[in-house]
Amino acid sequence: MFVEIGLSLTIPSLRFFETAECTVPKSNEVWAHASICCMTLDLSTATLPEIAAHYAAPHSPWLRANMVISSDGKFVGATGTSRDLTNALDLRLLLLLRGMSDVVLVGANTARNESYRQPKLRPEFAFLGRRAPRLALVTRSLNFDLDSVLFHGGDSRTIVFHTGDQVPSKQLQEVAELIPVNSATDVIAKLHEMQLPLITCEGGPNLLAQLLAADLVDEYDLTVSPVLSGKSSESTGAEVDLEHWQVLSSATADDFTFLRHTRRA
């Protein structure tokens, strides 16, 4: 079912340190029991090629979810975006994981709220030998600012997966590649048909919950931020269920913990 891919990187000496227990901050009740034995990478000293090797997908196709969560278990901070929860090293990791992907998949509301833009090839990722990923949005409303950077300024045409009965405008058809779908399963199948097998999904929680429910996610990368959200909300269905996921490896930087989960056998 899977085809081996070769991301060939020569790593002279990885900046790992061993730890008997890799745990998230105890203030985070959701992740307090994620105690594992693993190798931990220090993102503050690791080079980009070292980080890429640490996160390399073992097979293609491969669907990676990449999310950040507050220490009290929320996906957004005080102003309602994930930017409240991040730091510079988390942003560098996010951009690198995008660069290792064929396509960045995101819900339209998240893309609008988080000021997404069409990806461009970044010089610092030239060692990957890859093109810039495409941006793929999932929407029901088809409500977009067609002059925004969601559709302009990048290296490739934005893909828009649309559900529901809304008819795309001629103007939207001119700036995006539109594909009707009925489910999250359809979205992933279409991306595979388009020869975009290495997928990074960055949410939002509703889209990720659908992908998780359909058992489509191969890897769940989670940044645990030391920031408290202060928001009260119910489960979104996009959280990691530790009964079905295990921590494959981890990384740290400052007070941030970066957990790489794969499904339990």
For each of the domains in the chain, give its residue range(s) and CATH number, in order of start. 14-226+238-263 (3.40.430.10)
How far apart, in Å, are the Cα atoms of 166 and each of 40, 109, 111, 133?
47, 16, 19, 27
- Helices assigned H by DSSP within 72-162: 88-99, 108-113
Residues paired with 62 in a beta bridge: 198
Longest CA–CA separation in the chain, Å: 58
Q: How is residue 245 written in tokens?
A: 């996921």
> Coil, helix or strand for 57?
coil
Evaluate whether 123 touches 153 at the Cβ level (below 8 Å). no
Instruction: Give the per-residue pLDDT at 230.
Output: 66
Under the phi-then-psi rule, with left for phi > 0, alpha for psi from -120 to 50, and beta for the rest, what region is 193?
alpha
Mean pLDDT for each consecutive 10-residue tract of the chain (265 residues)? 25 31 34 45 94 94 93 72 77 95 96 94 96 97 96 97 92 97 97 98 92 95 82 65 86 90 87
Q: Give dist(CA 134, CA 53) in Å, integer.
A: 22
- Nearest alpha-carbon partner for 213 in 177, 243, 237, 183: 237
**What contacts 116, CB < 8 A, 6 or more positions away?**
106, 110, 135, 149, 150
Entry pTM: 0.82
Q: How is residue 93 written in tokens?
A: 């990791």
Model confidence over 193-248: pLDDT tens digits?
A: 999 999 999 998 899 999 999 999 999 999 988 877 766 555 666 777 768 899 99
Instruction: Give the per-residue pLDDT at 30.
Output: 32
Evaluate whether 239 touches 144 at the Cβ level (below 8 Å). no
Q: Give dist(CA 130, CA 126) in Å, integer.
A: 7
Instruction: Give the per-residue pLDDT at 96.
Output: 97
Instruction: Give the per-residue pLDDT at 20.
Output: 32
Q: How is residue 174 written in tokens?
A: 């001119």
Q: Are strands 36-42 and 16-22 parallel, antiparallel or unpaired?
A: antiparallel
Q: Are strands 36-42 and 176-180 parallel, antiparallel or unpaired?
A: unpaired
Query: CA end-to-end span of the chain, whole Å?
Result: 16
Evaluate whether 154 touches 135 at the Cβ level (below 8 Å). yes
- Nearest alpha-carbon partner for 187 in 221, 132, 137, 142: 137
